[in-house]
Amino acid sequence: MDINNRLSRCESWYRMLDMFMQENTPSIDEVIKKICEKVKQFIPVQYTGIYYYDAWKNGYSLKTDDSALEKMAVETLPASIVAKEDPWEAGKELFLSTSSLQAMLIPLRDEEKKVGFLFTAADYFSDWCRREANSIAEEISGQLRALSNYIHTAKTNYNNQILYQVTSSFHASINTKEVLEEVIATLKDVYPGFDYYLFLSQEFPGADDLPTKELIYNDNVTNRVSVHAFLTGDVQYEQLAEACESNLYIPLKGKQGVYGVLQICASTVITFPAEDVEFISLLANEAGNAMENARLYQQSKQLIEDLQLINETSHTLNSNLRLIETTTFMNRQIKDKFGAEEIGFILFKEDSQDEYEVLDGSTDYFLSRSAKQFLGNTLELLKRQHDAVFIGDFSIKYPEIRLPYHSVMAIPMVQSKQVKGAIFVLHPDAYYFSFEAFKLIQSLVHHSTLAFVNSMLREQLEHLVITDYLTSLYSRKYLDERLQEHLSEDEQGAFLLIDIDDFKKFNDTYGHELGDELIIQVATIIKGHLGAEDFAARWGGEELAVYLPNASTEDGMDTAHQLVKQVEAFTEPTVTISIGVSYWNKGQEQHSDNVFDRADEALYQAKELGKNCVVKAKCIGEPK
């Protein structure tokens, strides 16, 4: 009879199990409820339940088809009962209140591992009932083992399918935001009962739309579990009993580093099963690799853009630009690429490393008086360390220096191991410039330094060509060219031809060296009387010349008389000068030679009149 009963039960178990296995993802809860129904058909008991091992709770939870039993018995099997070798008689201990019912608790084993306990309660258990219950427990163990293997295989296949789909999606995307959104969406689909957050180590475009948290890893917070997961690259688990929550931290790892941490939050104290942690880790690793690939792609793309910028900048700077053209072009490049608010171009003077010049093309701040302390301190630092300065918040590092800008980049222009100057880039926001921007602007300055030096040398050479070496006044040739331009463009003008009186006698008396010094003294006095548009030249020997654009006859005569008085008063040894003044206006046909000749004739008359005086030349057509 027992054998027939057992065969009948096995056939019933088989049909039940086969029915559940027709489903893609059979529910273990539904299977156990069905098992409980059948147990009550096989043996005379009033209540049946199974305490089944729940990996998420790391304990044995009651599952039954009878709601009355759920109210009568403990929800979770105490650890003290689980540890017993023979817990048969411990069933009575599971009632929440005193009961007259008898109870049996029979282990359900998968080899040596306890996968659950069959719990039955009745008014009375006969010996036959006890034997049958024990046999039924063995049969249930086999059924649960087969079902568990099936569920495990189905879950593994399902997870692998998800991993394949997600990995394919990741490999098709170079957008970090899309990758992270896919991770969160997949996990919410597989594990809908949790909350998900991302600790990201770097800023990504569009990351503000994701459930992100700030990843702070300084000396004060190294004990945080999220930071530990990021720094070690290992999965971390956190149970907060007081807050009644559990957190799992899984690093988003690529081949070259860790790019963030995925936080999974449970609103109850649970244990994350190793199998599920492994699946989530695989998903996170795929996400980390995808983020890394997207980052590398963006870096490669950025590198190409940076190289194009450097190439374009170098090409333009090497096209023989003037210095103002060079600074204007660099100003535009830096503003467009880095969003700088203030840009300064500083050059040290050749004869003194302590003196500097703010070049045209610099923004207004560097031309203000308030910039002097900042420039002085920073330039001294550049000269001392021969290296660039990169400061995220200037007010914190140098609180004693008043500067309305927080982000500071100062890159020295080094040529032949000498600091020729520096380029300053400022922004009012703290930490505005990235380290990548700092490295790029270093490259730009490195490639532009030679162009700056060449532009300066070119302008210096041009200045030497048009300048008299002794007096630093313009050369006669340059004055002639400039005068011809003014004759064609201006309405009028005055020309002064100046000669130092008795200069040959002075040279014979004091020597040529002192004679040269005297010419320099007279030239210096002349330069002190020049307006913004006026220019002077050394005409030849002891003769000097001044042209006053758009000046009237009276303006020319006034300037000439002042020069005569000043030279006599402030030269040492004292000398005098004679000046011939010629004037022209638009109504007259003029040529530079005509203006020169009339001034020369007036100078001759001044000499005839006794020197140390001024004579105005007659206008064209005026009788001599």
* Mean pLDDT calculated for residue range 557-585: 91
Q: Which of 609, 320, 562 is nearest to 459 (CA)?
A: 320
CA distance 85 to 175: 57
> Within this chain, do residues 381 and 432 fall inside the same structural domain, yes or no?
yes
In a domain, 314, yes or no: no
Residue 461 lies in a domain: no
Residue 544's φ and ψ, nearest 5 degrees, are: -125, 160
Question: 443 and 550 in one domain?
Answer: no
Of these ranges, 93-102, 479-488, 495-504, the one predicted with the greatest mean pLDDT is 495-504
Same structural domain, 184 and 151:
no
Out of 314-318, 383-387, 559-563, the most confident range is 559-563
> Does residue 308 form part of some domain?
no
Here the CATH number for the domain that contains residue 279 is 3.30.450.40
Q: What is the domain-level CATH number for residue 552?
A: 3.30.70.270
Confidence of residue 624 (pLDDT cuts 50, 70, 90): very low
Domain boundary pick from 455, 486, 515:
455
pLDDT, tens digit, for every residue of 14-50? 666 666 666 656 677 888 888 888 888 888 989 999 9
Please give the pLDDT value at position 289.
87
* Amino acid 228: pLDDT: 86
Cα(582)–Cα(594) distance, integer angstroms: 9
pLDDT on residue 601: 92
What are the backbone dihedrals phi and psi of residue 620, each rounded to the nearest 5 degrees, phi first?
A: -65, 130
Distance CA(453)–CA(347), nearest Å, equals 10
Q: Measuring CA to CA, which residue among 374, 453, 376 is closest to residue 413?
A: 453
Q: Is residue 545 assigned to a domain?
A: yes
Query: Does pLDDT of 3 surpass 70?
Result: no
Half-sphere exposure of 572 (CA within 13 A, CB side): 1
3-state secondary structure of 454: helix
pLDDT of res. 7: 62
**Residues in CB range of 52: below 8 A, 6 or more apart:** 28, 32, 60, 61, 63, 115, 116, 144
pLDDT(455) > 60 = yes
Same domain? For 395 and 484 the reply is no
**Dihedral, CA of residue 110, residue 111, residue 117 and residue 123, to nearest 10:** 120
Please check the confidence at residue 341 and state whether its pLDDT lies above 60. yes
Quote the crossing angle between the two packed helices 176-190 and 274-317, to the nearest 10°.
170
**Which residues have a catalytic role annotated?**
542
Domain housing 507: 476-616
Q: Which of 152-166, 289-303, 386-400, 449-463 has the lowest mean pLDDT?
A: 449-463
pLDDT band at residue 302 under the 50/70/90 scheme: confident
Give the chain's mean pLDDT: 84
Which of these, 190, 204, 349, lies nearest to 283 by C-alpha position?
190
**Residues 418, 510: one domain?**
no
Give bridge partners of residue 345 from the DSSP assignment: 423
Q: State the total domains in the chain.
A: 4
Q: Are residues 442 and 489 in the same domain?
A: no
521 domain-assigned: yes
> Are residues 271 and 137 part of one domain?
no
Q: State pLDDT tens for residues 605-615.
A: 998 888 999 99
Fill in the amino acid letter for 163: L
Residue 421's nearest CA partner among 326, 320, 316 is 326
For residue 426, name the pLDDT band (cuts at 50, 70, 90).
very high
- Quick one: 110 and 48 in the same domain? yes
pLDDT at 622 over 60: no
Q: Grade residue 218 by pLDDT with cuts at 50, 70 and 90.
A: low
> What pLDDT does residue 162 have?
84
Among 279, 297, 315, the domain boundary falls at 297
CA distance 387 to 326: 23
Please check the confidence at residue 176 and state whether its pLDDT lies above 90. Answer: no
Question: Of the residues 282, 297, 312, which one is the last residue of a structural domain?
Answer: 297
Assess whether 417 and 493 both reside in one domain.
Answer: no
> Is 621 inside a domain boundary?
no
Q: Are residues 278 and 404 in the same domain?
A: no
Q: For residue 164, is it within any domain?
A: no
Q: How confident is the model at residue 623 (pLDDT cuts 50, 70, 90)?
A: very low
Say whether both 604 and 487 belong to one domain: yes
pLDDT, greater one: 423 or 224 = 423
- Say yes or no: 413 and 486 in one domain: no
Is residue 303 in some structural domain? no
- 334: tokens are 């830096």
User: How many residues are there in the chain?
Assistant: 624
